[in-house]
Structure 1
Amino acid sequence: MPLLPLLATFLGSIVSGLVFRALASLGFAYVAYVGIGQLIDSVDGYIKGLFGAIPPPVAAILGMAKVDVAINIIIAAVIARLMLAGMDRITGTITGLALLNKAGG
């Protein structure tokens, strides 16, 4: 039996498994990224909608107190926490939403 077809079959089976795993992990990461992005956008829109319903004098006081800046900082902290939870400790690469696998967050 020739060696070249046997080697090609062996390498094809290895490469196809690796490609499938890489595409599957990229797909999960993309779905998680898009889902978290939409969740953050909907929370942001909900908060802005609530601020649109308050009377103008109260809105002026909250504006002077920089409540809008505080809310933006909190939303940015949540995004940073999710990103850092998905990072691998050794390599610093993002492996996915590891926060979902941790007990207690």
Structure 2
Amino acid sequence: MPLLFPLLATFLGSIVAGLAFRVLASLGFAYVAYVGIGQLIDTVKDYVRGLFNAVPHEVAAILGLAKFDVAINIIIAAVIARLLLAGMDRVTGTITGLALLNKASS
């Protein structure tokens, strides 16, 4: 019986160490991806705003009435969602299974 406790402690220690490493690696990857995508989106938004500053006032008024700024925000949100789904696809594999089912049924 006394021999069982050190063996059990070693076994649990190896499991916990591997699990802790995976959790910390995942958190580090998620943080880097979040910061990187945030910087990318901020850069794109600043670039688009800079392009709109070069537009004449009359054209800007017409684009404002047509809610062109809302359309740009929708496009940027769609790109963010696509990047998020692509990241989930590579990390978890769950979206890949669903995507394969959708392709097979069509």
Which TM bucket (shorter chain)? 0.7 to 0.9
Corresponding position of 2:30: 29
SS, match of residue 95 in structure 2: coil
Higher RCO by CA contacts (8 Å cutoff, separation 6 or greater)? 1
Count of aligned residue pairs for this structure pair: 92
TM-score normalised by structure 2 residue count? 0.74
Q: Deviations over 1:41-71 (max 9, x none)?
A: 1101111121122221121122122221111
Corresponding position of 1:10: 11
SS, match of residue 54 in structure 1: coil
For 1:40 and 1:68, the matched residues in 2 are separated by: 15
Q: Over the residues paired in the alignment, what is the CA RMSD in angstroms?
A: 2.1
More helix by share: 2
After TM superposition, the runs of 4+ consecutive aligned structure 1 residues lying more than 6 A away are none
For 1:90 and 1:71, the matched residues in 2 are separated by: 28
> Does structure 1 residue 69 correspond to structure 2 residue 70?
yes
Corresponding position of 2:80: 79
What percentage of aligned pairs have identical amino acids?
A: 75
SS, match of residue 55 in structure 2: coil
For 2:95 and 2:31, the matched residues in 1 are separated by: 21
For 1:90 and 1:56, the matched residues in 2 are separated by: 47
Contact 2:52 2:60 in 1 (8 A): yes
For 1:64 and 1:3, the matched residues in 2 are separated by: 76
Unmatched 5+ stretches in structure 2 = 89-93, 99-106
TM-score normalised by structure 1 residue count? 0.75
